[in-house]
Amino acid sequence: MTLEILTADSLSPLQHGFFTRRGGASSGVFTGLNCGTGSSDQADVVAINRARVADAIGVAPDALVGVHQVHSADVVEVNAPLREKPRADAMVTTTPGIALSILTADCQPVLFADTDAGVIGAAHAGWRGALDGVLEATIDAMEVLGAQRKNTTAVIGPSISQRAYEVGPEFMDDFMADDQENARFFANGNSDRLLFDLQAFGLHRLRRAGIGHAEWTRHCTYSDQDRFYSYRRSVHCKDVDYGRLISVIRL
C-alpha cells in the first residue's frame, strides 16, 4: 500500500503533509506507518517508516527532524540535522532541506508557513500546550526569523474531534481559570461529562494571535481507525500501545 498524505492548498507550494497510517511497515497494534521512536514497536521497522516519509518529502532521513515532545510551550530553532532531540513542542526554521516533523495520536499537529519570508514552523498542540501558548510561541519565534504573522498560514491536521473528546468537569477548570469565555469550547456530554472542542480552541488561539490564515483539515483521529492512530481509542480498546502519526513541512 502506498503512503497516504493529506495536504492543504493554503500551504502550497511548500512540500508538506499530514501522513496517515497507510503505507507503513509496522504490524499488530501499530499496523501501518508508525513513526513513533518512543513506541514499543520494533526500532528497525519505525526507521523504515520514517525513511519512507523522508523520501516522500524529498529529504535524507537525518534531515527529518523532530523534538522530544513534552506538552510544553517551548520552541526551538533548527538549522541542521539534530544529534539529540531537545525537549520542546515546536520548531521553526529558515533552512531549505530541513523537514520539521511532529508526532501525534489525537493532539493537534500544526504546520506554519510564511512563504514570502521563507520561514516555516511545526507545533505539537495538545490541550495543555495549546492552553499554555505553544501556538503563539511558534508564531513569535517565526517573527524573530523574519516572518510576519499577517502573512503566516497555520493548518491543524488530523486530531481528536469534539464528539470523541469526553472530559471531566475538573478538566474545564483550567480553561475557565485562564479565560471565562473558554466555556464556549465545551458541550454537555453524558452525566457530568463534557465534550471539548480542541480544534476550535486551537483556531481561536491562532486567530487571536493575529495570524493571516488558520484552518483545520477536519479529520478526526479517534473516529477513523483505518487511517489514523489514536491514543484515546487505544485506551478504550485496552491495546498495549499505539502508533504515532507524523506531520511534516520543509522549505
Tell me how far apart the alpha carbons of residues 165 and 18 are, in angstroms, rounded to a whole number: 21
For residue 218, pLDDT beyond 80: yes
Residue 1 has pLDDT above 90, yes or no: no
Question: Mean pLDDT throughout 120-146?
Answer: 98
Task: Output DSSP code: residue 83.
Answer: S
CA distances from 201 to 14, 89, 131 (A): 26, 18, 9
What proportion of the chain, given as a percentage, has pLDDT over 90?
98
What tens digit of pLDDT does each residue of 38-58 get? 999 999 999 999 999 999 999
Question: What helix, strand, coil percent values describe the chain, rounded to 5?
Answer: 30, 25, 45
CB 100 within 8 A of CB 82: no
Does the pLDDT value for residue 107 go beyond 80? yes
Rg (CA), the chain: 17
pLDDT tens profile 142-183? 999 999 999 999 999 999 999 999 999 999 999 999 999 999
How would DSSP label each residue in 187-203?
A: EE-STT-EEE-HHHHHH
3-state secondary structure of 185: helix
Rounded to whole angstroms, the Cα distance separating 96 from 73 reads 25
* Torsion angle defined by CA atoms of residues 30, 34, 37 and 41, in that order, rounded to the nearest 10 degrees: 20
Q: Taking residues 203-231, report their average pLDDT.
A: 98
Mean pLDDT within 93-122: 98
Contact 154, 217 (CB under 8 A): no
Look at residues 2, 4, 15, 53 and name the one whose alpha carbon lies nearest to residue 224.
4
The whole-number pLDDT of residue 111 equals 98
CA-closest candidate to residue 168, choices 195, 141, 137: 195
Residue in the structure block whose three cell numbers are 517508516: 49
For residues 146 and 91, give the distance between their C-alpha atoms in angstroms, rounded to a whole number. Answer: 15
H runs (alpha helix) in 78-197: 127-132, 134-144, 169-178
- Domains annotated for the chain, with CATH where assigned, are 5-161+197-250 (3.60.140.10)
Q: Contact at 8 Å (CB) between 92 and 78?
A: yes
pLDDT at 19: 98
In the numeric block, the cell 532521513 is attached to 61
